[in-house]
Amino acid sequence: MARRDRRQSDWRSLDESDVRIRPGRGSRPRSKRRPAHADAVPAMVVAVDRGRWRCAVNSDPDRIVTAMRARELGRTPIVVGDRVGLVGDVSGKPDTLARMVRVEPRTSVLRRTADDTDPYERMVVANAEQLLIVTSLADPEPRTGFLDRCLVACYTGGLDPVLCLTKADLASPDPLLDSYADLRVPAVVTRHDEDSTALRETLRDRVSALVGHSGVGKSTLVNRVVPGADLAIGEVSAVGKGRHTSVSAVALPLPDGGWVIDTPGVRSFGLAHVTPDEVVAAFPEFAEAAEECPPHCGHLGGDEDPDCALDDVVASGAARASRLASLRRLLISRTGAEV
């Protein structure tokens, strides 16, 4: 609790956003001002730049409105993917500015810390249903440490992970797929000399965030599934005048429905905010046993956590040893060196 209090008071100094899902909000008694904004129109944030938010009214990519934050929202972080309520001029005509009066509770949050020692979590994307972890099979070689960290971010943030393995013309996906089989993460394999039907199917009608290291072919993918993506990114990143390249997330509409949220600035996932128990919670067969562990168990077993109860689950035959090994690999990635 102490940690939470400290964090709350320090939010103000952050430039990126904090990151909390606020599950309590839906059941909280309605505040007095809510009825006053009964006419607010729903919209999704598609880009953020320096105190201005670009929003798609009714999630319609053809109804883009620029908005400011109503004073009553204080400094609540508002990021791409947030569902908001807008009042005022929502025409979207040049030089008009709507007012954002509400941020809906989030269904998921993709968050990270800047590095592993940074105690402050930052929100990257809100409400994405899935995270496409874009990894090339060669050139550059897959970085499983990064991949594992992305999985942890999914499990603790409420997103469905999907492995997106690119450059299959250069190397076989099988070894990588084998090493993730126990985690049961769905995968899409792509190569630039074949069509992208499987990828389109995976993305259709969903809100998908994309992460990947430089050079893995993420831009190639985005341009394939979103015609004119380069142009669109240029446009939204021009929200704050004078800025030509966007490093924050940008939501781009898919022609068949759904959105992809590119995260150009995100090359790493510090996970200082994640506890071992949060990771274990994503593994139903181990979650209950973890309650039998000594306090502050890191669940790594061996010399690190000799009394960890997770080994008993495997010994009893209720889970496979390889599942526990995969879980522990994720736990190690949480504390391991940044990759």
Ligand X SMILES: Nc1nc2c(ncn2[C@@H]2O[C@H](COP(=O)(O)OP(=O)(O)OP(=O)(O)O)[C@@H](O)[C@H]2O)c(=O)[nH]1
Nearest distance from residue 219's CB to ligand X, in Å? 3
Per-residue tokens: 90: 């929502």
If the CB atoms of residues 19 and 280 are measured against Zn ion, the closer one turns out to be 280
Phi-psi region of 215 (alpha: psi -120 to 50; beta: other; left: phi over 0): left
Nearest distance from residue 134's CB to ligand X, in Å? 7
The rounded distance, in Å, linking the Cα atoms of 243 and 78 is 20
Q: Could you count the other beta carbons within 10 Å of the beta carbon of residue 193?
A: 6
Nearest distance from residue 191's CB to ligand X, in Å? 4
Query: Which amino acid is residue 148, in one-letter code?
Result: D
If the CB atoms of residues 157 and 212 are measured against ligand X, the closer one turns out to be 212
Nearest distance from residue 216's CB to ligand X, in Å? 4
Strands 41-49 and 83-88: antiparallel
**Is the separation of the CB atoms in 40 and 90 below 8 Å?**
no
- The response to whether 293 counts as a known ligand-binding position is yes
Q: Which of 36, 170, 181, 321 binds ligand X (CB under 6 A)?
A: 170
**What 8-state DSSP symbol labels residue 30?**
P
Helical packing angle, 321-335 and 144-157, nearest 10°: 100
Nearest distance from residue 143's CB to Zn ion, in Å? 27
If the CB atoms of residues 7 and 213 are measured against ligand X, the closer one turns out to be 213
The rounded distance, in Å, linking the Cα atoms of 135 and 233 is 22
**Residue 169 lies near ligand X (rule: CB under 6 A):** yes
**Is the separation of the CB atoms in 109 and 19 below 8 Å?**
yes
If the CB atoms of residues 212 and 301 are measured against ligand X, the closer one turns out to be 212
Q: What is the DSSP string of 191-231?
A: -TTS--HHHHHHHTTSEEEEEE-TTSSHHHHHHHHSTTHHH
Q: Which of 218, 323, 328, 334 binds ligand X (CB under 6 A)?
A: 218
Q: Which of 135, 166, 202, 246 binds ligand X (CB under 6 A)?
A: 166
How many residues touch ligand X under the rule CB under 6 A: the total is: 14
If the CB atoms of residues 77 and 217 are measured against ligand X, the closer one turns out to be 217
- The response to whether 217 counts as a known ligand-binding position is yes
Q: Which does 299 bind (CB under 5 to 8 A by kind): ligand X, Zn ion, none?
A: Zn ion
- The response to whether 242 counts as a known ligand-binding position is no
User: Cα-flanking dihedrals φ and ψ of residue 190, to 5°?
Assistant: -130, 160
Helix, strand or coil for residue 8?
helix
**Residue 297 lies near Zn ion (rule: CB under 5 A):** yes
Helix, strand or coil for residue 264?
coil
**Residue 212 lies near ligand X (rule: CB under 6 A):** yes
Task: List contacts with Zn ion (CB under 5 A).
Answer: 293, 297, 299, 308
Task: List contacts with ligand X (CB under 6 A).
Answer: 166-167, 169-170, 191-192, 212, 214-220
Annotated binding site: 166-169, 212-220, 293, 297, 299, 308
